[in-house]
Amino acid sequence: MKVIFEKPKSLEDVTFHYCPGCTHGIIHRLIAEVIDELEIQEKTIGVAPVGCAVLAYDYFDVDMHEAAHGRAPAVATGIKRVHPKNVVFAYQGDGDLASIGMAEVVHAAARGEKITIIFVNNAIYGMTGGQMAPTTLVGQVTNTSPTGRDVEHSGYPIRVSEMLGSLVGPGNSMKRVSVHDPKHIGQAKKAIKEAFINQIEGKGFSLVEVLSTCPTNWGKTPVEALKWLEEKMLPYYPLGDFSPKEGV
Amino acid sequence: MLEEIVIAGFGGQGVMSMGQLLAYAGMLENKQVAWIPSYGPEMRGGTANCAVTISNTEISSPLVTEPSVCIVMNKPSLDKFEPTIKTGGLLFVNTSLIDAKPKREDISIYEIPANAIANEIGNSKVANMVMLGAVLEVIKAIEPESILESLRKVLPPQRHNLIPLNAQALQKGAEMVR
Amino acid sequence: MNKVLMKGNEALAEAAVRAGCRYFFGYPITPQTELPQYLSKRMPEIGGVFLQAESEIAAINMVYGASGAGARVMTSSSSPGISLKAEGISYIAGAELPCVIVNMMRGGPGLGTIQPAQGDYFQATKGGGHGDYKLLVLAPASVQEAVDLTIQAFDLADKYRNPVMILGDGILGQMMEPVEFKLTENNELPVKEWATTGKKGRKKNIINSLYLQAEKLEQHVNRLADKFGEMEAKEQKAETYLTDDAEILLAAYGTTSRVCRKAVDMAREEGIKAGLFRPISLWPFPEYALQQVLGRVKGILTVEMSLGQMIEDVRLAVNGKVPTDFYGRVGGMVPTSRDVLEKIVAFREVL
């Protein structure tokens, strides 16, 4: 019998705790597939965040380090500086990276730290139960923006890839992808692979912003959530390559 | 022997380095030494001071609040430190920059026109070494040769050409109090 | 003679290098800045890494990452910066990682002053960050002792897999004294099988302080408590001075202990039988050593550059057996030996 589909080696054989329809599982799988394909499982060190993916260390079968909320890029920096030949990645959500940990990610990028960050943007705080995130869309209702995000009160959502892309430094790479349909999942995997290769080739900092769903806290079915991502998030968060240009 | 020395002046008068040289020389003579600077905003443009303790036995406290020797390079330092000197202590005043007369009668006062002498030998920057020469001549705690030996150790080789000038400054200072 | 005249901050930095520390992450703050400055030159010479972080928070989390990756690593700061590091210190202790943290204390609260103080004793010995953890806290009183304790600190951190804090103050950091580096370069560091190095040839390693199940976290914290108990039994350090016949015992650490030592000499000249008890380990507090010198002691005067923090541990250790009194200066003011002598005289009169 021929095996045509199997679990990636770098993913543990356990059940994810994620809610039905949440796309964290897809993103985990993409990362694990990339680690397998690049044959770097034995030299990869992952940094888990605080948020829904806090238990990521139980899911990836690589050495893992659990960071404090927002501090994953600093922890990853410490690891990478000790083991420059290893591959170090951090997995972060939007509250973690774009709110409490904004300083850490900006400076890791500014230093051209040779790490890879997978930034999962689902426009809401999931783990704490659906509060407004720095990436929550204008008008979006959350548990702390009950009448919808009001720009007079809370300002505009932050476009992390564009912001980091404005930092000087060729070799650094920032891309935004989505996982709302098979075609985009394929593109997301390609971007994640390129981000790891960017690190392995010693070029610089790489970040992949992955637009993701949160059906539970958005109050939608999994199918509605995928549609909402496509219709509401894509216009504000355009997909593409935001890497800094040479000589910026 | 226990000497507790306070050296004070403007930033840039070589106050800190004078203290460090004393401490270094003491160390070369196998004495116990400690050097503590004033630090913080007052060193930026304002007055600077440091304390040096030289002792034959273990130094209990390196903090000097009642100096046995006080070297003041400018007027604000005279005002600040004259009252703190131990009875019977020594005060060295740089009269090139200080017109005022010390008021204490229970201490010995040495008036040294340090900047004028330094200018005479060709470099106003060694005023601190002129003062130091005078101090060493009086307190006898450290040999001037140890100061020169310290300079040889702390100065980079390309600046060793300055050592004879420093030696001359120490000598001139010593002559002022003989 | 192998002695060199060095500032406390620089000597401490060199001691870290001699102890095999090759990674330093920090952020400038007076009065400890000479320490990172020194290492920014020194680390590249020996193939190490000096990195100026974007904040104290980032610096301690870089330490967390580097320590988890198996390195000997250090950070240094002064009071307000240590408050920022508190979160990371709790994680490091929770994840059982070794590192050395230097605090050259300055006056607080808030922005306070850059002048020396000892107001962070509680923060260092009773917590600072959240949760049930302890730091091993060592308080040098001279530049030489700062060197010796720093070298020991790295070994202790590795031995217990726990952060060790060197608690000094602005004076220790800025002061120059002759020092001798007794240890030759220590290249044989302990093997750390738990570190994140890539899972080649073994199961994956996880560095973590998260235990979502209450039973599991209780087990973990109880295991930490056993470790802290072992430290309390084995790592108490103190020095005594003229305590054999002392009737008035001074208790002081760090810079203040130097002031007190001189006050003891001055008191003895006036015929007062004074002595000094100087804790070197602040946590664990050297209670056994204190209890042993109480023989003829009629009263203990604790002197600190704070409103009175270590005195609580002194009182706990003597447990009401001896009257205690306190003298402190704050705000960057340093008590003088004469002030302490006056306090000794006054205290003796009421005993």
pLDDT in tens, chain B (178 residues): 999 999 999 988 999 999 999 999 999 999 999 999 987 655 555 679 999 999 999 999 999 999 999 999 999 999 999 999 999 999 999 999 999 999 999 999 999 999 999 999 999 899 999 999 999 999 999 999 999 999 999 999 999 999 999 999 999 999 999 9
R_g of chain A computed on alpha carbons:
17
Bridge partners of residue C165, in order along the sequence: C101, C137
> Tokens 């009950």 map to which residue?
A146
Where are the strands (E) in B21-68, listed by range?
A: 32-37, 47-55
Instruction: Find the residue in B nearest to C262 (Cα).
Output: B60
CA atoms within 13 A on the CB side of A166: 4
Q: What is the pLDDT of residues C263-272, one digit of tens each?
A: 999 999 999 9
The C-alpha angle C327, C333, C338, rounded to 5 degrees, equals 55
Q: How many CB pairs under 8 A join B and C?
A: 63
Interface probe for C, chosen from A47, A81, A104, A106 (most Cβ of C below 10 Å), is A81
- CB neighbour list of residue C305: distance below 8 Å, 6 or more residues apart: C105, C116, C117, C118, C119, C169, C255, C256, C328, C329, C330, C333, C334, C335
DSSP element (H, E) containing C73: strand C73-77
Tokens of A173: 């790479």
Q: How many CB pairs under 8 A join A and C?
A: 129
Instruction: Find the residue in A nearest to C66 (Cα).
Output: A78
Q: Alpha-carbon distance A94 to A101, whole Å? A: 9
B 113-142 residues inside an 8 A Cβ radius of C: none
CB atoms inside a 10 Å sphere around CB A220 = 17
Q: Alpha-carbon distance C24 to A81, whole Å? A: 10
pLDDT score, position C182: 82
Q: What is the pLDDT of residues A128-174, one digit of tens each?
A: 999 999 999 999 999 999 999 999 999 999 999 999 999 877 899 99
Q: Alpha-carbon distance A157 to A236, whole Å? A: 9
R_g of chain B computed on alpha carbons:
15
Bridge partners of residue B71, in order along the sequence: B7, B92
Rounded to the nearest 10 degrees, how much is the dihedral formed by the CA atoms of C170, C174, C179, C183?
Answer: 60
Q: Do B40 and C265 touch (CB under 8 A)?
A: no
Number of residues that make up chain A: 248
Q: What is the pLDDT of residues A167-222, one digit of tens each?
A: 877 899 999 999 999 999 999 999 999 999 999 999 999 999 999 999 999 999 99
Q: What is the pLDDT of residues A104-129, one digit of tens each?
A: 999 999 999 999 999 999 999 999 99
Q: Do B37 and C174 touch (CB under 8 A)?
A: yes
pLDDT score, position B11: 83
A65–C contact, CB cutoff 8 A: yes
State the pairing for strand pair C238-241/C274-279.
Answer: antiparallel
Number of residues that make up chain C: 351
B66–C contact, CB cutoff 8 A: yes
C45: Cα separation from own chain's centroid: 28
pLDDT at C311 over 60: yes
| Domain count across chain B | 1
Q: Alpha-carbon distance A80 to A90, whole Å? A: 11
Segment C280-285 mean pLDDT = 98
- Residue % of chain A over a pLDDT of 70: 99
| C-beta of residue C95 within 8 angstroms of C-beta of residue C162 | no
Query: Which fold, C4-234?
Result: Rossmann fold (3.40.50)
Rounded to the nearest 10 degrees, how much is the dihedral formed by the CA atoms of C282, C235, C101, C112?
Answer: 0
Residues of C with Cβ-Cβ distance to B41 under 8 angstroms: 114
The chain-wide mean pLDDT, for chain C, equals 96
Domain of B169, CATH number, reads 3.40.920.10
Residues of B with Cβ-Cβ distance to C176 under 8 angstroms: 20, 23, 34-36
| C-beta of residue C196 within 8 angstroms of C-beta of residue C68 | yes
- Enumerate the CATH 3.40.50.920 domain ranges in chain C, comma separated: 239-350
Q: Do A61 and C199 touch (CB under 8 A)?
A: yes
C 143-202 residues inside an 8 A Cβ radius of B: 170-171, 174-178
- Evaluated on CA atoms C232, C235, C240, C243, the torsion sign reads positive
Q: Do A66 and C198 touch (CB under 8 A)?
A: no
Q: Alpha-carbon distance C339 to B65, whole Å? A: 11
- Enumerate the CATH 3.40.50.970 domain ranges in chain C, comma separated: 4-234
pLDDT at A248 over 50: no
| C-beta of residue C200 within 8 angstroms of C-beta of residue C249 | no
- CB neighbour list of residue A4: distance below 8 Å, 6 or more residues apart: none
Closest CA to C248 of C225, C269, C276: C276
Q: Alpha-carbon distance C220 to A166, whole Å? A: 44
Which amino acid belongs to residue C238? A
Q: Quick one: pLDDT band at residue A245, thresholds 50, 70, 90?
A: confident
pLDDT at C344 over 70: yes
- CB neighbour list of residue A56: distance below 8 Å, 6 or more residues apart: A28, A46, A48, A49, A64, A91
Bridge partners of residue A174, in order along the sequence: A207
Q: Do C69 and A79 touch (CB under 8 A)?
A: yes
Touching, A vs B (3+ Cβ pairs under 8 A): no
How far is the alpha carbon of A41 from chain C, nearest alpha carbon, in Å? 7
Closest CA to C146 of C178, C119, C115: C178
Tokens of C279: 């804790």
Q: Alpha-carbon distance B117 to C182, whole Å? A: 44
pLDDT at C143 over 50: yes
Interhelix angle C56-68/A102-110, rounded to 10 degrees, is 70
Residues of C with Cβ-Cβ distance to A86 under 8 angstroms: 197-198
Q: What is the ipTM of this complex?
A: 0.95
Thinking of the domain A24-241, which architecture would CATH place it in?
Answer: 3-Layer(aba) Sandwich (3.40)
| C-beta of residue B150 within 8 angstroms of C-beta of residue B25 | yes
CB atoms inside a 10 Å sphere around CB B68 = 20
| C-beta of residue A105 within 8 angstroms of C-beta of residue A75 | no
State the pairing for strand pair C136-138/C163-169.
Answer: parallel
pLDDT score, position C310: 98
Q: What are phi and psi of C200, to 5 degrees?
A: -60, 120
Collapse the DSSP code of A220 into the 3-class scheme (helix H, G, I; strand E, B; otherwise coil) and give the result: coil
Find the CB nearest A79 among C57, C95, C196.
Answer: C196
**Residue-wise over A70-103: b if at least 16 C-beta within 10 A, else e?**
bbbbbbbbbbbbbbeebbbbbbbbbbbbbbbbbb
Q: What is the pLDDT of residues A6-62, one digit of tens each?
A: 999 999 999 999 999 999 999 999 999 999 999 999 999 999 999 999 999 999 999
Q: Alpha-carbon distance A97 to A94, whole Å? A: 5
Q: Alpha-carbon distance C74 to C157, whole Å? A: 11
- Residue % of chain C over a pLDDT of 90: 96
pLDDT score, position C75: 98
CATH 3.40.50.920 fits C239-350, yes or no: yes
